[in-house]
Copies of this chain bind each other. A is one copy, B any other.
Amino acid sequence: MTLSANKSSILPSGGGATLLDPSDTVILLLDHQSGLFQTVKDIAVADLRRNVAMIAKLATLLDIPVITTASEPAGSNGPLMPEIHEYASHAVYVPRKGEVNAWDNDDFVGVVKATGRKTLVMAGVWTSVCVMFPALDARAAGYEVYAVMDASGDPSEMASRVSLARFVQGGVKPTSTNSLLSELHRTWARPEAGDLAQLYAMAAPNYAAVIESYQRAQDAVRNAG
């Protein structure tokens, strides 16, 4: 495990030694296109889109750079889901020239390098292709790479299980949307706590009902008071 010993996100307790450092992180959202969504079979499209939208909001809230891309912007794969640039207006879009692997595209790699950040959080459709290829190549180029499995999609359950195994084999860290949220969030003792709670309600929809019940229970006491 490669630990940058002096990450700013490591606390005196040792907490965060193995966690991603928000100030060193850039989020890459790869080929989340409407046509490709139809082929995704390891997660419901509603859940996939909600997870990606949550990440876009999270990036905005915590001021983390986002880069989006598509291989054939005018082709049958369709447009990027509009929620990404709607919720993350700071996101930079890099069109590709037909390359399947974003890391094959000089512009894309250039924009990543220009951020100066060395931790890449990737998600995309398909997991086994649009995330896998740049993830492995970036890892070989020395980046710390996370793959967000449930903000990505594969054309079968079997392909999805294979992707998970190949990420681990290649030194890429697999993660889930809720875990990414918490790993960037780190503490409720921060000014964004209220907004973050809303994001948890997106990452885990039952949590929305938890909050609603909590507020109603407290109102019942207050109203009775």
Q: Per a CB cutoff under 8 Å, which of B39, B109, B173, B216 touches A207?
A: B39
Please choose the segment from A21-29, A56-64, A85-93, A163-171 that sits at the chain B interface, where 4 or more of its residues have CB less than 8 A away. Answer: A163-171
- Interface residues on chain A, number (Cβ under 8 Å): 114
Q: How far is the CA of A104 from the CA of B128 in the complex (A)?
A: 32
Instruction: Find out whether the CB atom of B49 lies under 8 angstroms from the CB atom of A188.
Output: no
Judged by a CB distance under 8 angstroms, whether A75 is at the interface is: yes
A95: chain B residues at CB < 8 Å are none
A134: chain B residues at CB < 8 Å are 15
Instruction: Find out whether the CB atom of B79 lies under 8 angstroms from the CB atom of A188.
Output: no
A46: chain B residues at CB < 8 Å are 46-47, 50, 205
- A100-B182 CB under 8 A given contacts A210-B39, A210-B76, A218-B220: yes
A177: chain B residues at CB < 8 Å are 159
Instruction: Find out whether the CB atom of A206 lies under 8 angstroms from the CB atom of B3.
Output: no
Instruction: Find out whether the CB atom of B176 lies under 8 angstroms from the CB atom of A154.
Output: yes
A188 to chain B, nearest CB (A): 4
A191 to chain B, nearest CB (A): 12
A42: chain B residues at CB < 8 Å are 158
Instruction: Find out whether the CB atom of B169 lies under 8 angstroms from the CB atom of A15.
Output: no
Instruction: Find out whether the CB atom of A101 lies under 8 angstroms from the CB atom of B186.
Output: yes
Q: How far is the CA of A33 from the CA of B194 in the complex (A)?
A: 20
Q: Per a CB cutoff under 8 Å, which of B14, B156, B186, B209 touches A176?
A: B156
Q: List 30 A-B contacts (CB under 8 A).
A: A15-B133, A16-B133, A19-B137, A35-B210, A35-B213, A38-B209, A39-B207, A44-B205, A78-B213, A79-B215, A82-B212, A98-B190, A99-B189, A100-B186, A100-B187, A126-B178, A126-B182, A128-B179, A128-B182, A129-B182, A154-B176, A155-B178, A155-B206, A162-B164, A162-B175, A162-B179, A165-B165, A166-B174, A169-B173, A221-B221
